[in-house]
Chains A and B, each alone.
Chain A
């Protein structure tokens, strides 16, 4: 029989066993293809060029992340396949097949699997592409008509990326088989040796793991300026390594200590599951660590999605504090402006405040802005009184300054302590900041500070004092008409500068944030589905190995209920520990995100962890069902 025919026969007969592998690979292809489809579709173009540029950037970044995920997933799947096939096809050694021939057999089989997954992924991806875009737009709360237009380019890009990664790992497997010793190949089927590991090694790994994790968490939470991006990157690597060492060291150590306490082990009937966990942890700790990290990505993506949605809504509210703002060198425009507005609509909120504009050459601050604006505490207090906004800080001292900030989407400068600003050679200590929208939209486009009244008076002569007039109209429908009316005030002469800012309540200027939100939710789903399916695949396959063990237990009369409980506990340990590590780590990853957004995300964190918990609980139940079935706990008829 020829190699190809033998491989096809193997592929056909084993297809049912490898279906989960093919499905998960097809899933990664599907996700990647559907993101590529967005890039080449016109669905998001209706958001306007600026938004579309942002969305394109988001999709490209997401595609890169998905590409990395694809590498990881293919690496994992081909590894699982290699280990299983090595055990089975190792037997061909006895038939006189050389390693090269066995390797070739493996290569043909894995190529067939790879192409099946690619085909399945592409077809399903094309079919659900429109649906995917609809879901994405629906989550983003955008109304766009979707037209399904199959395009060749996304298919080619996806196929090329997938095949390039896949064939590298298939080739790696081939080399592995060719280089395997005959003994190694045969003994791949032998297992269960060295169940317990040396305490000293576990202890070293545990201490290292905790140390590295703690350092990683510390870096993630560390405030800083330009160093933040480096810190975050280092924290990601350190947490990944730390989690890996935790599963390779501390967790097996805890279970081995428990197994050593025989009174506890025997007394509570923990013998079966604790010993199984030790055995499984030795074999699967890399998988559990990977799943924990994936779940951490998932929960962080979800938290980011929730936070982005909240931040989008707040920014919209922030920007719409006022509908019209006038910035003028004249201080007598208020009545004129009111008359022009009130011709069309009543005024809901209004305020005015003098602000001192200083040239950037006079100011040295951590963040470089082209314009720096200052006002006095008394002026701001008056504005707060007029608008009903809160003023929750007291007047700064002579050497102090207070920052009036805005809502950041994300900022890599997280350091808030000991910030100094130098104005005309004098250093002021920043005592705090506030994101109350005193100046509304204008506040987003300038660096705005509050000074002590006396200090403000001293600085007045250094720059130009402008008056900011702010109005929110009662009837939004009159927006366009009032904008036209106010245009008569706009002037740009030597004696009179007056600028008008109009904030359209219907503006979709920052709609791309909504897409970011839905992409975060989507990434969350991808990661959580991947985490769940990896654990499920692992449990599904392990159960076959456990079959013999459960058969013995049934033979010696162990009650089915006891076996079920042991299986449930064993799986609970795998899922529970991964979830616990993810939960603790998420406090830091979401905490770091909160720092970058200058907000407390603990509530968002808890909700996200809860969502992951519910999804994981469903995976757990599915896994338990498959495990009981595959391990033969359900059927205890033929024992001999």
Chain B
């Protein structure tokens, strides 16, 4: 990706519905994501968070405006090229873990590399390295049903990071976890980010989760309302997020 820009969104508009009965979900978003950013997108239900994430992660297409990923306009890319982009440049962490239940944790983590044609030995080395980093080394030979929610989600994060993608998209990564497991995951993501290994864009309804990011964008009614940047203290950042949330009103509960 060029000029330190990982992604660039200009005047992004997204409509749903048939002609004459359209709903504008996104109303002209501008956002630039630079290398090693850690961004959280927050907003009340119906504000367009998930739509934004879907478009950024190339699963949905914009109605108007441009989304540049890897220097290319995703609206002009073929399905095959988009699939390749998702495989090579993007990592995903989903709310529901989405590990394959027929495989061990190690097989799950190594899967993107294995499918990408990387040698077996390298797959094993990298899978073990990431598992170590995320505290999962003892669980590598277990199946998803033998793991806790937190372990599964950390496993999913390893799978997302193993190909060293340009950007990680995380959709409510702590949504299905208890607070302890959520904190463990966020600590891991923070560590990876601070080591300079990842650029992360996270969609969340949870201010605690958002406080791990460096910048928080507040979305309301399809537009970016404000951007809050973190100082040195995460606790203070958390309080500021809560203040903005309170001032915005609306339903911030989990979609």
Contacts and interface: CB of A to CB of B under 8 A. Distances in A.
B110 interface: yes
Given A193-B145, A552-B98, A559-B84, A262 B103 contact: no
Contacts of B87: 556-559
B90 A557 contact: yes
B94 interface: yes
Nearest to B113: A266
Most B CB contacts (10 A, CB to CB) among A196, A263, A267 go to A267
A270 to B, nearest CB: 8
B111 A271 contact: yes
Interface string A242-276: 00000000000000000100111111110110011
Nearest to A279: B102
Interface in B150-194: 159-160
Interface string B67-110: 00000000000011001111110101010001111110011001
A611 interface: no
Given A196-B143, A266-B124, A640-B54, A555 B94 contact: yes
Interface stretch (B2-10, B16-24, B114-122, B231-239): B114-122
Instruction: Tell me the dominant secondary structure on chain A's binding face.
Output: helix
B50 interface: yes
B92 A271 contact: no
A262 B100 contact: no
Most A CB contacts (10 A, CB to CB) among B83, B84, B85, B94 go to B83
A266 B120 contact: yes
B107 A555 contact: no
A65 interface: no
A9 interface: no
A271 B127 CA distance: 14
Contact of B83 (A192, A267, A552, A559): A559
Contact of B121 (A195, A263, A268, A560): A263
Interface string A601-640: 0000000000000000000000000000000000010011
Nearest to B146: A193
Contacts of A640: 50, 54, 59-60
Contacts of A556: 86-87, 92, 98, 111-112, 159-160
15 contacts: A192-B145, A264-B120, A266-B110, A267-B121, A268-B120, A272-B115, A549-B102, A552-B98, A555-B98, A556-B160, A557-B83, A557-B112, A558-B115, A559-B83, A562-B115
Contacts of B86: 555-557
Interface in A180-219: 192-193, 195-196
Given A265-B114, A556-B159, A276 B120 contact: no
B114 A275 contact: no
Nearest to A282: B102
A110 interface: no
Contact of A275 (B79, B107, B117, B120): B107
Contacts of B160: 556
Contacts of B224: none
Contact of A271 (B94, B114, B143): B114
Contacts of B110: 262, 266, 271
Interface string A534-576: 0000000000000001001101111110100000000000000
B120 A262 contact: yes
Instruction: Tell me the dominant secondary structure on chain B's binding face.
Output: helix
Most A CB contacts (10 A, CB to CB) among B94, B111, B118, B121 go to B111
A278 B102 contact: yes
Given A266-B118, A275-B103, 14 more contacts: A265-B107, A267-B119, A269-B114, A269-B117, A271-B115, A275-B100, A276-B102, A553-B100, A555-B94, A556-B159, A558-B115, A559-B84, A640-B50, A640-B60
A640 B255 CA distance: 13
Contacts of B114: 265-267, 269, 271
B123 interface: yes
Most B CB contacts (10 A, CB to CB) among A195, A263, A555, A556 go to A556
Chain A interface size, as a band, is 20 to 34
A549 B159 CA distance: 15
Nearest to B119: A267
Contacts of A275: 100, 102-103, 107
B59 A557 contact: no
Interface string B117-149: 111110110000000000000000001010000
B103 A560 contact: no
Chain B interface size, as a band, is 35 or more
Nearest to A271: B114
Interface of A: 192-193, 195-196, 259, 262-269, 271-272, 275-276, 278-279, 549, 552-553, 555-560, 562, 636, 639-640
B103 to A, nearest CB: 5
B115 A549 contact: no
Given A269-B114, A556-B92, A557-B86, A639 B59 contact: yes
Contacts of A262: 106, 110, 120, 123-124
A287 to B, nearest CB: 18
A549 B101 CA distance: 8
Q: Which 10 A-B residue pairings sit nearest by Cβ, starting from the closest? A: A557-B86, A267-B120, A263-B120, A557-B87, A266-B123, A266-B114, A279-B102, A266-B120, A192-B101, A552-B98
B227 to A, nearest CB: 25
A157 B88 CA distance: 65
B198 to A, nearest CB: 16
Contacts of A259: 107
Nearest to A277: B102
A553 B114 CA distance: 13
A269 B118 CA distance: 9
Contacts of B92: 555-556
A557 B111 CA distance: 11
A265 B120 contact: yes
B156 to A, nearest CB: 10
A425 B84 CA distance: 90
A271 B103 contact: yes
Given A196-B143, A265-B114, A271 B107 contact: yes
Contacts of B80: 559
A192 B102 CA distance: 7
Interface in B191-245: none
Contacts of B115: 269, 271-272, 558-559, 562
Nearest to B123: A266
Nearest to B60: A640
B103 A557 contact: no
Nearest to A280: B102
A553 B103 CA distance: 13
A276 B111 CA distance: 13
Contacts of B112: 556-557
A192 B103 CA distance: 10
A192 B118 CA distance: 28
B19 to A, nearest CB: 20
Nearest to B51: A640
Given A195-B102, A275-B103, A557 B85 contact: yes
A79 to B, nearest CB: 23
A193 to B, nearest CB: 5
A137 B220 CA distance: 79
A195 B143 contact: yes
Contacts of B103: 271, 275
A196 B106 CA distance: 14
A268 B114 CA distance: 7
Nearest to B145: A193
Contacts of B99: 552
Contacts of B88: 557
A640 B169 CA distance: 13
